[in-house]
Amino acid sequence: MRITVTVDGTNYTDEVEPRTLLVHYLRERIGKVGTVVGCDTSNCGACTVHLDGHSVKSCSVLAVQADGSEVTTVEGLSRDGQLHPVQKAFHENHALQCGFCTPGMIMQSIDLLADNPDPDEQAVREGLEGNLCRCTGYQNIVRAVRDAAQHMSPGAGPDAERITETKHVGVGGD
Amino acid sequence: MTATIEPEVGKSRRRKEDERLITGRTRWTDNITLPGMLHMAVLRSPFAHAKIVSIDTSAAKNAPGVVAVFTATDLDPDSSIGMPCAWPITPDMKAPRRPVLAADQVNFAGEGVAVVVARSSAEAHDALEEIDVEYDELPVILDMEAAIADGAPLVHEDQGSNTSAVWKFDSAEAGTGSNVEDAISSSEIVVKRRFRQQRLIPAFMEPRACVVDPTGAQTTMWSATQVPHILRVMAALTLGIPEHKLRVIAPDVGGGFGGKIGVLPEEMMSLLVAQKLGKPVKWNESRSETMLAAHHGRDQIQDITISANADGTVTGLKVELLANLGAYNGLVGTGVPILGAFMFNAIYKFPAYHFACTNVYTTTTLTDAYRGAGRPEATFAIERIMDELADELGMDPLELREKNWIKHEEFPFTTVCGLTYDSGNYEAATEKAKQLFDYDGLRAEQERRRASKDKVQLGLGISTFTEMCGLAPSRVLGSLDYGAGGWEHAAIRMLPTGKVEVITGASAHGQGHETAWSQIVADQLGVAFEDIEVIHGDTQSSHKGMDTYGSRSLVVGGIAVVKAAEKVVAKAKPIAAHLLECAEEDLEFAGGKFTVKGTDTSTTMGDVALAVFAAHNLPDGVEPSLDSDATFDPENFSYPHGTHLCAAEVDTETGRVKLRSYVCVDDVGVAVNPLIVEGQVHGGLAQGIAQALFEGTVHDESGTLTTGTFADYLLPSAVDLPSFTTDRTETPSTTNPLGAKGVGEAGTIASTPAVVNAVIDAVRQFGVNDIEMPLTPMRVWHAIRYGTTDAGGPGNEAGGGLGSIDATGGAL
């Protein structure tokens, strides 16, 4: 099937097998290897990307379902050479060790902050429940997300990813 | 002229590694794609124990995209290849061959029986479905005690027994203490308990993967491994590949926790297949395969006897272990209980100790190192039994510990287990932890809740721990029949422009070596942190090493870096003197500058490097190079310690455990980077708490792993864990020049008993003195309801649902 997808601001048109998962399309067809696969049951969240502005686990979305959509991966977050505030906060707060869960964590955190710009600790923990990390014990991730929230107030930081106003209830969301 | 340079060691530097990891520019093994690359998939046995009657691969060979299909006889016609075991713990240890692919028989569910190589991974996996294997089932052996009973069916018929080896240590025989039976018979109180260390899955986030490119002069292998250097040696020894013809690269590796120590059959299959086909081959496993076929950890039954006088003075400890090896010997799994054997006295001094361990084969995935490897198991047992002893004596558990621990002024101290602890201050760490925790206030609240029969009861758990860290001293490892040394290597290349490349044999997988090593070298050479690049994980550039495990990187590999830097300075000094036209003795080196004493005449390390590059004006007979390397092999382990305190709220109506607070004060000696130390502690705590409350494998009666995905095996998420209060005391190690002790495993080792002690403390009033891990709500509720102390009871929701059978622990 032929699909046209915008990924990190670039348009791609490709023939894909109907069974191709979005994550495999991103990694294997267009080389967006920043998004990784950590499990085969949609539990770990390592493959989280944004589909039309909202986080999805890209292992539970078919590539054909993304036809006509905009996908943002961790590779498309920085603007004009500046890190996204959430990326910066992960670095500043030592919110990663091996870094394998990090792309998914960052993408999920951005969506979480779009829903709730000033979450308390519990809200962050609940918002990240679908993303597993084995290295950090989550504490510094929680700290990073709350820290990022302080830097994502209007006008702060580089162009934070624009989030659409209505929550998209779509394919494969978690 | 120069400002005072602030030392880098001790600074909470943000990590150099992060930039690529937060922007998605990381080089994971699975990211590597080569021209003409083929994909390999492994067909795995659904049976735990069965004869292979026949394998029909004809349909698979004709499936779309398939290039080749291999069975054991295709891959290894002479049946000569066996996976390596580096630790023959006794001369008579059984050594059943683990073939690369099962040939005649499978011995655990998940063992590989055939491989398909195809143009795409999807086609390879599709073709697996086309392979027809006929099996003849054999008896499944899951329970360790049943496995070693007379007449038990055997995992390996030709070995004659399911007992792999029995290993003993006795303090009277070793001369480190007295006879334990005498101690037990003459003591006023004796407490016996059986503890179960459930089987765990390391569950690193990046599944295993490897890519083999046989098309160059050297075969290049990328692998998501903790041990690229060991992998190369083992591949050479196992497959007969000349070592110099194989280059192994561990690029960015997404976690290991001991789970990526093994030298894997799949790595060997990939090498064989790629060489046979002459094309690059990638193998990339699914999470379900990882859970099934990468090694598991823990899995011991511990029978512990402790004796004491009425005043609480411990007089002796007797430990009898059964350790489940699974179906085969892992690379180091045979020796994991031995690492624990030396830690059973923990921070305490007592006069008599006896340890005996029986390693047992069962028809399960093999076990091997998992974060802490032997030391968490030992620490759990001693910290749990100390609480049980305190209860029998009617003492506060903290008071009992204080009565028996080694005092600050008694270091160095040789323990009944035979180790010499170099330094420690258990008093200081404990006092700090008590203050942060509000120990007395929480005890008072506990009393109030008990008195009011609150449905939510409070328990306080204590774990005062130490560990042997920095797995190294080669002579010690040799005395324990381990097959290799424990030294580590580093090299430093001074570049002409004054920049520095540091090469380390300690290959990292998330620990932040690039940052910490830069800090060390910055101080040693007076070079800016940013001007240092750390190279690791490639046997070609990082040409020598023993890799990363056992909290050894800093206290062994980091010291090798210091030694290499000292050599750079020593090589530079005569050249600097020559350039400055002074005597070498008149020079002093500080902050990156050689200065003529008493003057402001100086030259920098960078200037010397450039002069060496030009080589126009060097002293006679001096080689034009500042490059240096060093290999460090310490005389002793290091012994970090700490006090961990946990407050747990237990809902007596549902059995649900909520961690209200967790405080730990760790002493890891000098912290090169406190931020990294804190992060490692956090992660360690999460893993140890997970053992206490969430994780555990469950097999059904056929030997099928029913906790084989992240949907069934309960890795904690952010909502399952509290925020931790972590702090440090700093008692430098006296056995290395940095004074560092290591931190990678501390949190995991200490936290499991702290949490379990807290829960038991909350429910002891209901007659409970043991609950088997993980402490699921059902188990806790059952213990409260029935006061039970054994494993019998209703089903365990942590595993495969009500009525499931824990393969290695009997009915839950």
Question: What span, in angstroms and rounded, lies between the C-alpha atoms of B164 and A72?
Answer: 53
Question: What span, in angstroms and rounded, lies between the C-alpha atoms of B606 and B296?
Answer: 49
Q: Does A69 touch chain B (CB under 8 A)?
A: no
Given B18, B286, B287, which is nearest A91 (Cβ)?
Answer: B18
What pLDDT digit, counting tens, does each position of A134-150 carry? 999 999 999 999 999 99
Mean pLDDT of B509-516: 97
Backbone angles phi, psi at A88, to 5 degrees: -60, -40
Tokens representing B742? 């290591």
- pLDDT above 70 as % of chain A: 87
Mean pLDDT of B193-219: 97
Packing angle between helix B228-239 and helix B265-277, nearest 10 degrees? 60
**B255/A100 Cβ within 8 A:** yes
**Looking at chain B, which residue has its C-alpha nearest residue A130?**
B717
Mean pLDDT of B543-547: 94
- pLDDT above 90 as % of chain B: 95
**A40/B709 Cβ within 8 A:** yes
Residues of A in contact with B254 (CB under 8 A): 36, 98-100
Tokens representing B312? 């609480």
CA B799 to mean position of chain CA atoms:
24
**Looking at chain B, which residue has its C-alpha nearest residue A39?**
B287
**Looking at chain A, which residue has its C-alpha nearest residue B226?**
A98
What pLDDT digit, counting tens, does each position of B260-300 carry? 999 999 999 999 999 999 999 999 999 999 999 999 999 99
Given A43, A87, A125, which is nearest B711 (Cβ)?
Answer: A43
Question: What span, in angstroms and rounded, lies between the C-alpha atoms of B775 and B754?
Answer: 13
**pLDDT value at position A163?**
44
Contact between B468 and B376 under an 8 Å Cβ cutoff? The reply is: no
Strand partners, B169: B355
Contacts of B517 (CB under 8 A, 6+ apart): B502, B504, B532, B534, B558, B561
Q: Does A128 touch chain B (CB under 8 A)?
A: yes
What pLDDT digit, counting tens, does each position of A13-22 carry? 999 999 999 9
Distance from A166 to chain B by nearest Cα, in Å? 26
User: What count of other Cβ atoms lies within 10 Å of the Cβ of residue B64?
Assistant: 11
Tokens representing B405? 């621990």
Distance from A142 to chain B by nearest Cα, in Å? 8
**pLDDT value at position B283?**
98
User: What count of other Cβ atoms lies within 10 Å of the Cβ of residue A20?
Assistant: 19
Contact between B68 and B150 under an 8 Å Cβ cutoff? The reply is: no
Distance from B304 to chain A by nearest Cα, in Å? 31
- Most A CBs within 10 Å, among B205, B226, B286, B658, to test the A interface: B205
Mean pLDDT of B462-486: 94
| B633-636 contact pairs (CB < 8 A, 24+) | B633/B472, B633/B473, B633/B474, B633/B485, B633/B486, B633/B487, B633/B488, B633/B556, B634/B470, B634/B472, B634/B473, B634/B555, B634/B556, B634/B559, B634/B735, B634/B736, B635/B473, B635/B735, B636/B420, B636/B422, B636/B473, B636/B735
Q: Does A91 touch chain B (CB under 8 A)?
A: yes
CA distances from B781 to B47, B511, B756, B797 (A): 34, 39, 14, 12
Contacts of A111 (CB under 8 A, 6+ apart): A50, A54, A55, A163
Beta strand residue intervals within B669-809, DSSP E:
725-729, 805-806
| Per-residue pLDDT at B433 exceeds 60 | yes
Question: pLDDT tier at A155 (50, 70, 90 boundaries)?
Answer: low
What pLDDT digit, counting tens, does each position of B663-703 carry? 999 999 999 999 999 999 999 999 999 999 999 999 999 99
Distance from A165 to chain B by nearest Cα, in Å? 26
Residues of A in contact with B287 (CB under 8 A): 38-41, 44
Mean pLDDT of B762-778: 96
Residues of B in contact with A78 (CB under 8 A): 23
What pLDDT digit, counting tens, does each position of B619-642 carry? 999 999 999 999 999 999 999 999
**pLDDT value at position B802?**
32
ipTM of the predicted structure? 0.95
Q: Does A131 touch chain B (CB under 8 A)?
A: yes
Strand partners, B301: B196, B322
Tokens representing A92? 């500043």
Q: Work out the angle at residue B205's Cα, subtended by the Cα atoms of residues B201 and B207, and round it to the nearest 5 degrees.
A: 80
**Looking at chain A, which residue has its C-alpha nearest residue B201?**
A134
Given A39, A135, A138, which is nearest B710 (Cβ)?
Answer: A39
How many residues in chain B? 812
CA B419 to mean position of chain CA atoms:
20
How does DSSP classify residue B148?
A: T
User: What count of other Cβ atoms lies within 10 Å of the Cβ of residue A169?
Assistant: 7
**pLDDT value at position A161?**
56
Q: Does A90 touch chain B (CB under 8 A)?
A: yes
Question: What span, in angstroms and rounded, lies between the C-alpha atoms of B15 and B19?
Answer: 8
**A97/B510 Cβ within 8 A:** yes
What pLDDT digit, counting tens, does each position of B23-49 carry? 999 999 999 999 999 999 999 999 999
Backbone angles phi, psi at B433, to 5 degrees: -65, -40
Distance from A73 to chain B by nearest Cα, in Å? 8
Average pLDDT, chain A: 90
Average pLDDT, chain B: 95
User: A159-163, B373-377, B792-796: lowest mean pLDDT where?
Assistant: B792-796
**A91/B257 Cβ within 8 A:** no
Residues of B in contact with A129 (CB under 8 A): 717-719
**A135/B205 Cβ within 8 A:** yes
**pLDDT value at position A80?**
85
**pLDDT value at position B789?**
53
What pLDDT digit, counting tens, does each position of B563-610 carry? 999 999 999 999 999 999 999 999 999 999 999 999 999 999 999 999
Distance from A140 to chain B by nearest Cα, in Å? 8
What is the pTM for the complete model shown?
Answer: 0.95
